[in-house]
Amino acid sequence: MNPYKPTKIEWISFFVLMPVLCVAINYLLFGENYLDRNVLLKSYPVVFVYGFASWYLHILVMHLLRLGLPGFSDTSRRLLILLTSHILLTSGTLFLIFWSYDLVNYLGYVIDPAKARWCLVIAILLTLTATSTWEGSYIYQLWKDSVREKELLQKSNLQSEFDSLKTQVNPHFLFNSLNSLSSLIHENPKDAELFLDEMSKVYRYILKNNHQELIDLHTELDFLHSYHHLLRTRYNKGLHVSIDVTDGADYFLPPLTLHVLVENAVKHNIILKEKPLYITITRDGQERIVVKNNIQKKSVKVISGQEGLVNIAAKYKLLNQPEVIISENGTEFSVSIPLIR
C-alpha cells in the first residue's frame, strides 16, 4: 500500500463531505450571507484548500497507522489513535480557519466563539463519519483476506493429504514395502513381524491424523520412528537418520511435517552403502526443529515442484506462526520449522 496515495473510496468521501463542510463552515462564519457572491468567490475556495490539506493529512495518518498496526488484533489500538489524531487534526484546521479570518478581518469577519464551537461539533461528527467509513472498508478488506487465506489453507491441507496418501499408498511404495516384508519373512520372521507392525502404524497415522490442523510433537515423533524403521529396512546402511529431539506434549506442529522433510531428503539424494545419506533431526534453542541432510543429488533429476516444502511454509504462514527457514550451502540442506505452543 502506498501511504501517500488515497484510495477510491477516500476520494469519494472527500468530494461527498467537503461541499457539506464548506457550506456549514461558511454559514457559521457569515450567517445569512453565506451565499453572497463575495463569500462564494473568496471564502469557499479558501475553506476548500484548508479542507483538502486537512483531509490529506487525515489520509496520511490513517495509512501510516495501517502500515504500523495492520492486523485484526491491532484494530482497537489503531482506532483509538486514529480517532484521537483525526479529532485533533479537525480541531486544528477549524481553529486555523476561524483564527486567521478573525486575525485579518477577512471579508469583515469577527470571531463568534459560540458559532466556532458549533462548527467544531459538526466537523468532528463528519470526521467521525468519514473515519468510520474508511476504517470499516479496511476491516471488511481484512475480513475478505482472512476468508481467502482460510480457503487457501483448506486447499493446501487437502492437497497435502492427497500428496501424502498418494506417496504412501502408491504401488511403487507399497511394492517396496511388501518386497522388504517378503524378504524378512524368509530371513527373519521376528523382524518381519516388527516391520509389519511399524508399517501398520505408518498407515494408521496417515489415515487418522493427516486431516488435523495440528498434532503434538510426541505423536509426530512416534510416527517418525515407525517411518524411519521402514526406510532403514529398505536402505540398510545407505541411510542414517539421527533423531535428537526431546519430545513433549506442550509443543505442536502440522501433522506429517517431519515426514515430508525426511521424505524430501530421501527423494532427491543418492542413497548407497558406499555413499550413505545422513539425516539429522534436532532441537535448537529457539523452540525450533531443524532437519538437515548432506547433499548428494541424483544424476537423474527428480521432477518436483517442491509441493511438500511449499505446503509446510503455507501452513505456518496461515497459522500466523514464524516462517519456515530453508537454507542450502552446497554441501548441506537444512529446514528449520517452528514449534507451536
Query: What are the percentages of helix, strand and coil residues in the chain, rounded to 5?
Result: 70, 10, 20
Q: Would you say 279 and 291 are in contact if contact means Cβ atoms under 8 Å apart?
A: yes
Q: What are phi and psi of 71, to 5 degrees?
A: -95, 175
Calculated CA dihedral for residues 56, 61, 63, 69, nearest 10 degrees: -170
Query: Could you tell me the residue ranges of all domains in the chain?
Result: 8-148, 170-338
Read off the pTM.
Answer: 0.51
For the domain made up of 170-338, give the CATH fold: Heat Shock Protein 90 (3.30.565)
Give the pLDDT of the chain (341 residues) as one tens digit per residue: 677 788 888 888 889 888 988 898 898 888 889 999 999 999 999 999 998 998 899 889 888 888 888 877 788 888 888 888 888 888 888 888 888 999 999 998 888 888 778 877 877 887 788 778 778 888 888 888 888 877 777 777 666 665 655 555 455 556 666 777 776 776 767 777 777 878 788 777 777 776 678 888 988 888 888 888 888 888 888 999 999 887 666 889 988 889 889 988 988 899 998 999 999 999 887 789 999 999 998 877 655 546 678 888 888 887 888 899 999 998 999 999 999 98
Report in angstroms the alpha-carbon separations of 78 from 1, 7, 23, 134, 237: 17, 19, 31, 12, 59
